[in-house]
Amino acid sequence: MQLVTASLPPFSFEEDGVPRGIAVDLVKEAFGRLKVPISITFLPMTRAQTMMASGAADGVFPLAYKEERLSYVSYPREKLVEDAISFFVRQDSDIRYDGDITRLAQYTFGVERGAVYGPNFTQALLSGQIKRTDEAATQAQNVAKLVGRRFDIAVGPRLVMQYSAEVSGHGNAVKELKPAVDLGLVAFLGFSRLKGHSNLIVRYDKVMQEMRKDGTYDRILRNYTRR
């Protein structure tokens, strides 16, 4: 099985040339139980999807569900990973959030270029409730710019933001505002329709259910997060 992923710590990344991360470890565990050999390649997500659409790759992860992808992606029933969209501020900030985004309209928000943030934050942007944003190429840069006082509030996937802050040495310099803005990222291991993996998908779903029941899923999650 030729699988492709993109660099998205803590879900998928390379460390000393070895694929690691929550999603990577879950996929490795699942296919180990299935006794199906896999190889994992890191590529930009757009190229990864092109490979799957052409049949050059068997699967891509972590992949969000979109109807326009159904022509070339077979989604399993079991989700692979999920993450909430949250606001983060500097540790010394007195900004408060009660779930009403309009109360934060006066602030500048740090965002990742091209990222999907869920309906609530997206609607606030489109409606003009949020007027000022500062773009970064990655969430790691977003965290660094927040700590550097380039803007007031950073927005991003909770686990991604926490991990980026920890590995950059800024774990104690930022804090999360609650409640979460959106449920955010729900992603799957998408299988190529051209590869005829329908039977494998059924077996994969069963194994993922077993991993949740026997505690393996939570154990892998805890290896990379504060949960």
| Identical topology for domains 2-81+185-222 and 83-184 | yes
What does CATH list as the number for 2-81+185-222?
3.40.190.10
Query: 83-184: what fold?
Result: D-Maltodextrin-Binding Protein; domain 2 (3.40.190)
Each domain of the chain, given as residue ranges in start order, spans 2-81+185-222, 83-184
Residue 226's pLDDT band (boundaries 50, 70, 90)?
A: low
Which residue would you say has higher pLDDT here, 68 or 150?
A: 150
Supply the pLDDT for residue 34. Answer: 98
178 and 95 Cβ atoms separated by less than 8 Å: no
> Residue 40: exposed, middle, or buried by beta-carbon count in 10 A (0-12, 13-18, 19+)?
buried
Q: What is the pLDDT of residues 167-217, one digit of tens each?
A: 889 999 999 999 999 976 789 999 999 999 999 999 999 999 999 999 999
Supply the pLDDT for residue 217. Answer: 98
DSSP 32: H
User: What's the whole-number mean pLDDT along residues 68-93?
Assistant: 96
User: What's the whole-number mean pLDDT along residues 53-62?
Assistant: 95
Q: What is the pLDDT of residues 107-147, one digit of tens each?
A: 999 998 877 788 899 999 999 999 999 999 888 899 999 99
